[in-house]
Amino acid sequence: MDSRKLKILQAVVDEYIVSGEPVGSKAIMKHVKASSATIRNEMAELEKQGYLEQPHTSAGRVPTYTGFRLYVDTLMERSSLSDDEKRMLDGMLDRNASTEEELVSSASLALSQLTKCASVVASSAPKFSLISKVEVIPTGKRMYVILMITSGGTIKNKVCRLEFDLTNDQLEFLDSYLSEHLEGVPVDEISDETFENLKTAMGAYMMSLTPLLAELFTLAKEMTAQDIKLSGAKNLLTCKDFDQAEIINFLDSDNRREIMKFVDDSFSGLQVTFSPEHDGFVIHNSSVITAPFKKGGRTAGALGLIGPMRIDYAKFIPYLEYFSQRITDLLDERGGAEDEEDKR
């Protein structure tokens, strides 16, 4: 492909990103040394090739997603972060966060504020962490709380109501059995089988304990469930590139499902995806940028940005990369010791 044509495409995208309006041949003259007529000819060809399109005959051109693809993959000139910017981004991270979740959330919040887009955090973290504590705590007549903590610092609990009160014997037995057989086990290795073993091991106590064990089991499942959190969703509502009804629909729907669609691919590295590339992503005209972050050398989750296709990639991609890098650093810094312990 002609180098001038590429330059023109780049110019169209650049202009479109800032203006949001179809770009005409005259506007391109600022970027490319050629007359408007020449540019028009080239643009007509770019349109034939599928990189541009015209909303209507007498309007300028708008990039198609294929055009954006080419732009993001090869044309775009990424701006690198100044020290000031880095400081600013650092300042928005909650370095005092005591949990991974809080740290990543603060990045997500910052991103959504900086970009006026929605931001998402997808964690796959629990998969690699071990159960470090299971406890059953009585909290009232026939009420029990099951508490589970992983080495990664995730804590969840479930309340369980039984038909009968447990005797001290039962509780003691249960407690010691659980700590003996579950602590140190990777969360994602808890399976139906584990559950069955557990039930039979309970022997005579089985009948009364089954509902409790069932809860325990679903709790373990919930711990491994991929957690997805959206922040700044309202930014999408006020974004004029989107159809409001569509956004409302999205916010209403179980959007985690939707978001999953692209999260799975995101763990391998920075990725930009456009809605038409993801069959059936509900928000038309949107793009999603994701960057994974690591913990102890392993991918622990991803940070993402959902916005219109017309987004300042050159600026926001570095933001995203910087955040994911910082998160990785911070998690390693503080997490190193813990991980060692886990492996013991």
Using CB under 7 A, list all residues that contact DNA: 4, 21-27, 34-38, 40-41, 43-44, 47, 54-61
One-letter amino acid of 267: F
Would you say 24 or 152 has its CB closer to DNA? Answer: 24
Q: Cα 201 to chain center, whole Å?
A: 40
Locate tokens 């005579």: which residue? 204
Among 20, 50, 55, 140, binds its own copies (CB under 8 A): 140
Among 11, 23, 110, 160, binds its own copies (CB under 8 A): 160
Residue 261 site contact among DNA, its own copies, none (CB < 5 to 8 Å, cut-off depends on kind): none
Locate tokens 């659980």: which residue? 178
Tokens of 42: 């080239």
Residues 6+ positions from 304 with CB-CB distance below 8 Å: 119, 120, 121, 122, 259, 262, 263, 266, 288, 289, 290, 291, 320
Q: Is 312 in the site for its own copies (CB under 8 A)?
A: no
Would you say 19 or 139 has its CB closer to DNA? Answer: 19
Residue 61 site contact among DNA, its own copies, none (CB < 5 to 8 Å, cut-off depends on kind): DNA
| Segment interacting with its own copies (CB under 8 A) among 57-65, 79-87, 157-165, 182-190 | 157-165
- Please, what is the minimum distance in Å from the beta carbon of residue 163 to its own copies? 12
| Segment interacting with its own copies (CB under 8 A) among 8-16, 56-64, 117-125, 149-157 | 149-157
- Please, what is the minimum distance in Å from the beta carbon of residue 60 to its own copies? 30
Whole-angstrom Cα distance, residue 8 to residue 21?
A: 16
Per-residue CA distances from 174 to 205, 206, 208 (Å): 9, 10, 11
Would you say 144 or 173 has its CB closer to its own copies? Answer: 144
Q: Is 167 in the site for its own copies (CB under 8 A)?
A: no
Whether 133 and 147 have beta carbons less than 8 Å apart is answered as yes
Per-residue CA distances from 244 to 105, 235, 249, 343 (Å): 26, 11, 8, 49
- Please, what is the minimum distance in Å from the beta carbon of residue 37 to DNA? 4
Closest CA to 103 of 281, 326, 272: 326
Could you list the residues that contact its own copies (CB under 8 A)?
98-99, 132-133, 135, 137, 139-143, 145, 147, 149, 151, 153, 155, 157-161, 234, 237-238, 244, 248, 251-252, 334, 337-338, 341-342
